[in-house]
Amino acid sequence: MYAFEFVKPKTVEEAVAALRESEAKALAGGQTLIPTLKQRLAAPEKLVSLAGIEALKGIRMGDGVVEIGAGTTHATVARELAGSVPALAALAGDIGDPAVRNRGTIGGSLANNDPSADWPAAVLGTGATVVTDRREIAADDFFQGLFTTALEEDEIITAVRFPIPEAAAYAKFDQPASRFALVGVFVARLGGDVRVAVTGASENGVFRWQEAEAALEADFSPAAVEALAPPPAEEMISDLHGAGDYRAHLVKVMTKRAVAACG
């Protein structure tokens, strides 16, 4: 790795101020950034650790919403939401391995916006709100392509507010070595609306499968998905783990499984 300065602020305000100095990058759980530094694919002059900011941690519930602090680890979400929001708990509990789950955070995952990450599917699939140090961003406006979000360079995610769905489930076909999603689908029913968010499949990152949403609003059953054509194969990622048409097929299969898991 290159040499860099390391700072560990205690407040969000201190972290934002540090990020505005020189070539600085925020460090959350470090599950993506540290390997990137080791491979010399990034060379920030300063790392601003968010791990010491207690205000970014914790889970709060009320008025049909669960708010997860951006510094909350996947393991904490899996443990604390198992009884109240099982779809989010199950998703968090299947990320990576125990080491990743105990270090990685929801805020870090969303800020990085890896095209195969799990949390973007949950956020887009529920229509959650991403809260930062200066504004609130709707899920439909937050994700803007591969590794790209609506965040400014010095903007920090502080929390994510999820509406608690009437029914929801996440179905993932993972790449066994990395545990990233080859294709993952989060389905949520909220009142009369249904949202279907797909991660791991598209060259443009996480997306909503709107044809499936319309079909499921009319008939919330796996049979409604079976009648659909899969998304266009040419819009899917094609690599050594799976061709575009294979991923398109998996989108349909995982959507049916998620709907069936909703009960």
Let me know whether 77 and 141 are in one domain: yes
Predicted pLDDT of residue 95: 96
Please say if the pLDDT value at position 41 is more than 70: no
Structural domain boundaries enclosing 68: 56-163
Rounded CA-CA distance 197/141 in Å is: 14
CATH number for the domain including 93? 3.30.465.10
Strand segments (E) across 108-165? 129-132, 136-138, 157-163
* Total structural domains within the chain: 3
The letter for the amino acid at 184 is: G
Question: 112-135 burial, b if ≥16 CB within 10 A, otherwise e?
Answer: bbbbbbbbbbbbbbbbbbbbbbee
Pick the last residue of a domain from 116, 137, 163: 163
Predicted pLDDT of residue 1: 57
Rounded CA-CA distance 132/223 in Å is: 40
- In this structure, what is the dihedral angle of CA atoms 92, 205, 27, 161, given to the nearest 10 degrees? -50
Rounded CA-CA distance 185/189 in Å is: 13
Let me know whether 159 and 225 are in one domain: no
Predicted pLDDT of residue 5: 84
Let me know whether 64 and 140 are in one domain: yes
Let me know whether 36 and 80 are in one domain: no
Please say if the pLDDT value at position 118 is more than 60: yes
> Worst-scoring range by mean pLDDT, 24-33, 111-120, 231-240, 248-257?
24-33
pTM value?
Answer: 0.94
